[in-house]
Structures are given as structure tokens and as C-alpha cells.
Amino acid sequence: MGEDVIEVKGSNEERATVKKGTTVGDVLKALYGKVDSRWIAAKVNGDLYDLSRPIYEAVQVEPVAIDSPEGLDILRHSTSHVMAQAVKELFPEAKVAIGPSIENGFYYDFDVSKPFTPEDLEKIEARMAEIVQEHLPFQRREMSRSEAIEFFRKMGETYKVELLENMEDGMVSLYQQGGFVDLCRGPHIPHTGYIKAFKLTGVAGAYWRGDERNPMLQRIYGTAFSDKKTLKKYLNFLEEAKRRDHRRLGRELDLFQFNEEVGPGMVIYHPKGAIIRQILEAFEKKEHLRRGYQIVIGPTLLKTELWKRSGHFDNYRENMYFTEVEGQSYGIKPMNCIAHMLIYKSKVRSYRDLPIRYFELGTVHRHEKSGVLHGLLRVRQFTQDDAHILCTPEQLQDEIKGVIDFVIDVMGIFGFPYEMEVSTRPEKSIGTDEDWDRATSALINALNDVGIPYEICEGEGAFYGPKIDVKLRDALDRRWQCATIQCDFTLPERFDLTYVGPDGQKHRPVMLHRVILGAMERFLGILIEHYAGAFPTWLAPVQAVVMTVTDNQLNYARKVYQQLVDAEVRVELDDRNEKLGFKIREAQLQKVPYMVIVGDREVEAGSINPRRRDGKQLGMMSVGEFVDLLERECREGSKGRVGLGII
RNA sequence: GCCGGCGUAGCUCAGCGGUAGAGCAGCUGAUUCGUAAUCAGCAGGUCACCGGUUCAAAUCCGGUCGCCGGCUCCA
């Protein structure tokens, strides 16, 4: 083989020999014998490369298509560069910060004296469309970091300079399309013409480097897809999500309200919302009792002295509400742990008593910043399905595993997809390294034991210990923390909790805070969006509506209604003087699982005629048969845990 | 808390310096009807709140409160 040629491999058996310095694009052509217009970049020995980049060594090359996950990432990243170009052309004084691709799109942050208006966005979008038409190539070049610093300093791009100054690399890469140059690792699409479908979706303030002490930049969000059809599909999904929004469904289904006169972040449950919560709470009590938890109830108001001892006053004061009664300062609980500590302390505990698991549906108040409130998903008063487990260090891992199993079991019943994260020691934290290591590995070992995937979030733990968080997604795919399992080293110590070991000596128990659903409010919000308001029968606030064809069947319908009430079915009677179709439509819009139709034929036969929410008519049956059917359906939907009449 | 947008009837929205509107919901009456909207009539508003500009403010300006989308923070 000559010195100026190299052998390259494809992803399967493809082989080719090319000259040194051949571009990635030409290598692909040699390997696969074709040029696919969907190919926008390639993986060279696993690293992403531009098609225009030359190859000098024997490598393995694999194409990246524009509609693959990695391809979409590249496309969106390139689109963010095009947006930045348009912004720089229209607003030359704007300084650019960062512009990555994100889940479902991209953004770019700019420092501008005046925030962008929606009209600005239209202009930017229009200019971007022109740039796309120009088919400007993305050109890569490399320079030393110090050269790059000088380069961007001359341009007045102070944010790029700051980024570069914080980098370690000796060489950095720059990308240019048209007159716009950006510091960037790449790769990019070959030219701007590859952008077939994009849309700017919004503008918002965002702190430089995500730190609220830094200046606020203007962030423009957008998205891009490989073709117009998929973009359309995505925009439709956003429309669909609006219809699933729990705030909208909460009003339409008469579940709850927020009231300006009451105050922000305070939920008022209407009868139909309250009954769902009652079902969830009844379900939770049963599930906890059968797993060896004891139900306890603590007070809402505790003396401020106690919050000082627990550390909340020092670490959590801004989020707490305080009040004064008879010259004594009290704090409203933002967490439920304190009373549980005091219950533990109420007598001498033996190692034989452990583990102790205290469960409380505890209502807490947290003064959340006004801008973060969000329907039921982020409120100021909420009820946690909270528990504190006190155990010996030896029992810790099994206890964690027990909680993980509990979470998996419950999520399985609701059919939620979820993601788990382990958060490790943050900078600002207390406790010894040994404690942290032991607890962190206990969490990780337990997850490995159970065999479910998880992400590690370095430095994201609570100041008092590492934790496992379980995240659920709302209708818009935003992630919300629900279940959490947190180790705590400080509270057992601050409250001097002990147990007597087999050696007759006092020992310090280990403590876990944990919630399964998290907050009832947040969980209900996710629940509403997950089912789009069409709750399964075991959770539906109204399981059936009895409706007559004409007023002639009213007396009979009232009897049927009463029989269903007696069987503990959540049932309503629609005795309005309306046509059947109208009543069905209303029940349908209320997403009631069953409509129980009663006409002359049913009166005659002493039966009822149920119609399911999906339109299926079940035919005539007796009330008893219908009750059995509902009971069965509740049991099936809740994996056997909940039947009729749970409360 | 920060950046931007928005607050008109119970709900969805129109009106954007010159007498507050529609559809749905509600009420009354008629109709007695078989699986997603029967017909007719009636009633319903401090245009979020406070202040300013103007002969005149729902409309323009400022402030407050609330909501929405983000950022930061979190169950």
C-alpha cells in the first residue's frame, strides 16, 4: 500500500482504499457506493465529524442521517447557528452566548439592550429562511485557544472569551457560515440548505451560565426537523398537549380551582377533585400498612426553636412561614420529619424494634418563589405521602431496596413511564466522606440489585445526604420530581436519636426520608395529563351516569340510581328533560366511564343498558351484573388493590 | 425572585379613544324524544385593581395583584 493511501471501513463489511486527505463525504461514497442526501455527518471511529472534514488515517466511518437522533441534534445545533447569524445581522449590537440543541429543539442566548419582541422573532425567522435559501456552507477551522480568545475579543464577543478562558483545550474549533463565526465543537450540516423545516417557538430571559447572580440574557427557543411533515406532527403534539393540560381539564371536569382572593399556589379541591384525592389517599394508607409502615399524624405549627434545632431555620428559612402566638414564635412545617423524630424519641428503642417506618399524609407549606408556581405541579401548600424510616446501618440497603420496589409497584399500577436519578454530594453539604460514600453506594447498590437503569447527577444531592429521585413527565414532556428517597445523616444526630444494640450500648440509627407519589397535588396533576382526564374506572370521580330516554322512566331510573349508590358506585342521575343524545354527549365530555341508559325496554325487562365511554353498547343487563362488572374493572385497573367503595 | 406576554359575562373569545358584543353554559317555557348538541324566550359585565393623560379610557401611560411561557429553585 502506498504511503498516500489509507484503508477505511464501514459499519458492516464495507472496505475501501482512499487517498489521504479525502473528505468524510467522499469516504462514505467510496464505502457505500452512493451519496444519500439524508447523510449530514458521520461517525469516524465513534466521533462525530463533518462530511467536509479530511481523513488521514485508517478509520471506521459510519453515516449519520438527518432523521436519526444524532442527526437531528446536529441539524438543530446548526439551525441555532443560523438563528444567531440572523440575529447578528438584524441586531448587530447583540452579543452571542451559547446555542445548543436540546430535547425537541434548540436555543441561543443573546445579550441585547432591549428584549426581543414577538415581532422581532418573525423578522428573525424570515431572515433565517433567506439564509437557508442561500445554501451557505458551514466551514470549520481550528486555532489555538489564545488565538481564539484574541479573535473573539476583537469582535467584542465577551461571552465567547469567557467560555474560552474557562476551557482547558489547547486547540479549539470555529465554524463559519456566511459572515457569522462561532466557537463550536461541531459537527454541522454541510450547508444551510439542509434546514428544511424549522420554527422559532418562543423567547424568554435566561441567566448567563444558569446562575441568578449573573446578568440575564435573552433566549430564543426554536425547533427543527428533517422535513415539514415531522415538524407539523410536533406542532400538532403541542396543540394536543394543550388539550391535556391539567389546568384546563381541572376546570372542564370541575376538579379544582385556584382563587386569586385566596392566594397563589393554594388548591381548592371541588367535589370531583377531592374524591380522586380521597381514593389515592385510601390506596396509599392500605399500601403502606401492608408494607409495615405505621400511620402517624403531626402538627402543622411547631415552635421556631425546634426548627432551629433541626437545621431548617438555618437552611430553609426563606421557604418557611412563621407566625407568633402569645409571644411565642412558631413555624408552619415545610416538611414532616420533626414530629416523626419526636415519636421515635418518645421511648427507648431497641435494635429489635428497627426498622421503624412512620408514614404521614402530611400537609406542608413552602413559600415557593412566585415565578415557579405552575397549576397543581408546583404549589405552596401540598400534601406529601411522606415517611421516615429509621434503621440500623446494616438494614439501610434493604430498606432502600424496599422503597424502590414500592415505587416500581405503584408506578406500574398507574402505568407511568419514569426515570430514576442518583444525586451525589453537593459542594455545600455536611457529614463525613465516609457517611456520604456509604449512603451513596447503598443507593446505587440497591438500584443495581433491582436492576433498573438510572442516571448519576453529580453534586445534585441534598445538603444532608444523597438521594434517588424519580421523575415523571407531564403532557409537554417536562420532567417533574415525584418519588424521592433521601438519606439523612443530620437529623438523627441533631435529635440525638438512639437505639440500644445487642451489645447494650447506644447506637445512632440511620434515617431515610422518602415519598412515593411525592405530593398529592403534583401527582394528581400528572395523573390528569397522563389520562387526559379519562380516568380509569377505579379512579374516576363519577363512574356512571344513569340517564333516561324520556321522563317516563324517571321513577325507575331513581331506583336504579339508589341501587348503585347502595353498591358504593360513584354514580350520578341525569334527570334533565333533554334528549338522550344530549345527555350522552355531556357524560362523554365529562369522560365518565359508563352511561347507564334506561328506556321503556329496560323498565319493561327490569334491567339497564350500559354504554361504555368508548361508545361500546354492552346490551341489557341487571344492576347486579353491572355492579360486578364495575367491581372487576376497578380491581383489574388497580392491579387488585382497589374495588368499589374504597373510602 | 428575574425576563417577556396576557387579564372583557361562569367558559372560549371579538371589540383596541366616542352608547360593552358573540357562541356555549345558566334561567323560563314548549317538546317526551333510544346512544356525542330539540326549539323559543329571558337574564347575565365596577372590561383584574389603583392612579394618570384626555372633552371622552375596556382601548393610551404608570403602579399593584393574578395568570401564561422561560430562567433560577423544587415534591
Q: List all nucleotides in chain B with at least one atom under 7 A from a protein Cβ.
A: 1-5, 11-12, 30-38, 65-75
At A116-156, the pLDDT tens digits run 988 899 899 999 999 999 999 999 999 999 999 999 999 99
| Direct distance between the N- and C-terminal alpha carbons of chain A, in angstroms, rounded to an integer | 82
Task: Kindly state the average pLDDT of the residues A25-49.
Answer: 90
Q: Phi and psi (nearest 5°) for A254?
A: 60, 50
The residue lying closest to nucleotide B39, measuring its CA against C1', is A578
Q: Is residue A28 over pLDDT 70?
A: yes
Nearest to A285 by CA among A520, A635, A542, A522: A520
**Reported confidence tier of residue A511, pLDDT bands at 50, 70, 90:** very high
Judged by C1' against the alpha carbon of A384, the nearest nucleotide is B75
Q: Is residue A645 over pLDDT 90?
A: no
Average pLDDT, rounded, for chain A: 94
Q: Is the dihedral of CA A525, A529, A534, A535 positive or negative?
A: negative
CA pair distance A82, A63, nearest whole angstrom: 23
The residue lying closest to nucleotide B71, measuring its CA against C1', is A206
Cβ–Cβ < 8 Å for A550, A582: no
Task: Kindly state the average pLDDT of the residues A615-619.
Answer: 96
Percent with pLDDT over 70 in chain A = 99
Question: Which three three-digit cell numbers place residue A578?
Answer: 333533554
Options A246, A340, A366, A380, the catalytic residue: A366
Q: Phi and psi (nearest 5°) for A117?
A: -100, 165
Task: Kindly state the average pLDDT of the residues A313-339.
Answer: 94
**A545 or A475, which is more confident?**
A545
Q: Is residue A385 over pLDDT 70?
A: yes
If one counts every other C-beta atom within 10 angstroms of the C-beta of residue A459, the result is: 11
Q: What per-residue confidence (pLDDT) applies to A169? A: 85
Q: Is residue A85 over pLDDT 90?
A: yes
Instruction: State the DSSP H helix or E strand holding residue A160, giving kind and residue range, or none if neither.
Output: helix A158-165
Query: Rounded to whole angstroms, what are the CA distances from A277 to A274, A624, A643?
Result: 5, 27, 16
Catalytic: A384?
yes
CA of A420 to C1' of B9 (A): 47
CA of A264 to C1' of B52 (A): 29
Nearest to A221 by CA among A353, A102, A366, A356: A102
Question: Which three three-digit cell numbers place residue A223?
Answer: 425547533
Options A340, A425, A467, A641, the catalytic residue: A467
Q: Phi and psi (nearest 5°) for A413?
A: -65, -40
Q: Phi and psi (nearest 5°) for A210?
A: 65, 25
Question: Which three three-digit cell numbers place residue A426?
Answer: 453537593
Q: What per-residue confidence (pLDDT) applies to A2? A: 56
Cβ–Cβ < 8 Å for A108, A219: yes
Options A26, A109, A245, A386, the catalytic residue: A386
The residue lying closest to nucleotide B1, measuring its CA against C1', is A369
Instruction: State the DSSP H helix or E strand holding residue A202, giving kind and residue range, or none if neither.
Output: strand A197-207
Q: Is residue A170 over pLDDT 60?
A: yes
Question: Which three three-digit cell numbers place residue A422?
Answer: 442518583
ipTM > 0.90 (yes/no)? yes
Question: Which three three-digit cell numbers place residue A154?
Answer: 476583537
CA pair distance A561, A569, nearest whole angstrom: 9
The residue lying closest to nucleotide B65, measuring its CA against C1', is A260
At A255-271, the pLDDT tens digits run 999 998 899 999 999 99
Catalytic: A366?
yes
Judged by C1' against the alpha carbon of A600, the nearest nucleotide is B34
Q: Phi and psi (nearest 5°) for A342?
A: -70, -35
Cβ–Cβ < 8 Å for A526, A503: no
Give alpha helix (H) positions in A546-622.
554-566, 580-589, 600-605
Cβ–Cβ < 8 Å for A314, A308: yes
Cβ–Cβ < 8 Å for A83, A108: yes
CA pair distance A614, A593, nearest whole angstrom: 8
